[in-house]
């Protein structure tokens, strides 16, 4: 690994944070950089550390009407599950004399609206966040319960791609590979009149989930394919992959990013550009959200022109878990 020249992000809450290009680089030719020493090798929160008390209060200030908007799907959607190896959970109800009790089995924590936690993926031989190897995860480190201890409360910013494009006379197609670049996100923020700040969580609406929910059973079944097969499979819009996206998110102090599509990033994955999951989760410690239901928030923003909210999310406090249902709520 090599270190950069130490230039810092100052102003606008940068707080002397090193720029992405000055973080240590992984010597594999990918351009990927890591934040392990900035937060400390024992850190288990990654970029959620950007949610300072000031960021929480900034989120609080977005509550103006008291309107509450759920951001999660019913837990049994998508149906059938799209990811290879996942299957529907089984819900058992036990009827007793004085009431009912129930349980679930085969419950995949990342099967619906969810967070990918810091145990979810590793970066090649370099390991999981902080340089941890498989044997290091035999204990409790990096479990999603660490994210759940204090919960997630900050400002959420809806990046409404279809609304922005429609206003510009452009269209979006949910069944095509359509990367949303950071340049376009900056254009959207200007259109929405939003200035991003450290600790914000981006909510990327591509329109994919609304499209998916409009399919019949046969249409949904046809989408069952490997999400990571570069020779075929599911195509959908999403965040542009590559180091440039990771750099932009880090330099702005974004705490996390979630989207309404199956993988946050655009699919199919371009293996030449790289898998954004690996640049964000193990390298920077940035959790990512998938399958978030953003249509209610979109409708609210369309009504009053306000694309920000106070975002609440309470992951399940399950030790050693790699992910969790997002349990997310926007309050405006």
For the segment 261-285, what is each residue's pLDDT rounded down to a tens digit? 999 999 988 988 999 999 999 999 9
Q: How far apart are CA 237 and CA 265, in angstroms?
A: 8
Give me the pLDDT at residue 78, please.
94
- The enclosing H or E element of 31 equals none
Say what the pTM is: 0.93
Quote the distance between the C-alpha of residue 324 and its chain's center.
12
Is 310 strand, coil or helix? strand
- Residue 154: phi and psi, rounded to 5, are -165, -170
Q: Which of 254, 260, 66 is nearest to 156 (CA)?
A: 254
Q: How far apart are CA 103 and CA 82, in angstroms?
A: 23
Interhelix angle 243-251/182-192, rounded to 10 degrees, is 40
Instruction: Tell the residue number behind the tokens 């030719």, with chain if given.
Output: 29
- Whether the bond between 214 and the residue before it is cis, its omega within 30 degrees of 0, is no
Work out the widest C-alpha separation in the chain, in whole angstroms.
70
Q: Which residues of the chain have pLDDT under 70?
A: 1-15, 225-232
Q: How far apart are CA 62 and CA 244, in angstroms?
A: 30
Instruction: Tell the residue number behind the tokens 């206003």, with chain if given.
Output: 167
Q: Which residues pair with 310 in a beta bridge?
A: 155, 331
Contact between residue 88 and residue 80 where contact means Cβ atoms under 8 Å apart: yes
- Residue 324: phi and psi, rounded to 5, are -160, 150
Is 298 strand, coil or helix? helix
CATH number of 42-331: 3.50.30.50
Q: Strands, E, within the chain: which ranges? A: 8-9, 17-18, 68-70, 90-96, 99-105, 114-116, 152-160, 179-180, 201-205, 238-239, 256-259, 288-290, 308-313, 323-325, 328-331
Give first-to-last CA distance, the chain, whole Å: 44
- Residue 236: phi and psi, rounded to 5, are -160, 160
Give me the pLDDT at residue 230, please.
52
Token output for 258: 């979630």
């Amino acid at each position: 690994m090599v270190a950069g020249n130490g230039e810092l992000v100052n102003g606008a809450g940068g707080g002397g944070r090193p720029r992405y290009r000055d973080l240590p680089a992984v010597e594999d030719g990918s351009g990927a950089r890591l934040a392990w020493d900035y937060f400390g090798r024992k850190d288990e929160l990654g970029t959620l550390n950007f949610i300072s008390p000031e960021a929480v209060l900034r989120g609080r200030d977005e509550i103006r009407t008291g309107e509450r908007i759920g951001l999660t799907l019913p837990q049994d959607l998508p149906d059938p599950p799209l990811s290879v190896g996942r299957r529907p959970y089984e819900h058992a109800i036990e009827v007793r004399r004085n009431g009912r009790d129930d349980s679930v089995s085969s419950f995949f924590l990342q099967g619906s609206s969810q967070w990918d936690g810091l145990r979810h993926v590793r970066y090649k031989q370099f390991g999981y966040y902080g340089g941890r190897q498989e044997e290091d995860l035999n204990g409790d480190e990096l479990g999603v319960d660490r994210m759940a201890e204090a919960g997630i409360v900050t400002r959420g910013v809806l990046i409404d791609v279809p609304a922005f494009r429609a206003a510009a006379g452009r269209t979006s197609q949910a069944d095509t590979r359509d990367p949303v670049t950071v340049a376009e996100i900056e254009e959207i923020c200007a259109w929405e009149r939003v200035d991003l700040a450290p600790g914000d969580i981006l909510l990327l609406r591509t329109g994919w989930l609304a499209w998916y929910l409009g399919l019949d059973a046969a249409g949904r079944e046809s989408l069952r394919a490997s999400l990571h097969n570069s020779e075929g499979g599911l195509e959908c819009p999403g965040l542009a992959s590559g180091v440039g996206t990771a750099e932009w998110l880090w330099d702005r102090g974004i705490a996390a990013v979630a989207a309404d599509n199956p993988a946050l990033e655009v699919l199919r994955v371009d293996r030449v550009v790289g898998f954004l999951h690996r640049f964000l989760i193990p390298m920077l410690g940035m959790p990512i959200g998938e399958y978030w239901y953003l249509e209610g928030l979109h409708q609210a923003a369309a009504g009053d022109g306000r694309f920000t909210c106070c975002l609440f999310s309470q992951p399940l406090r399950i030790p050693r878990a790699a992910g969790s249902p997002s349990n997310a709520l926007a309050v405006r």
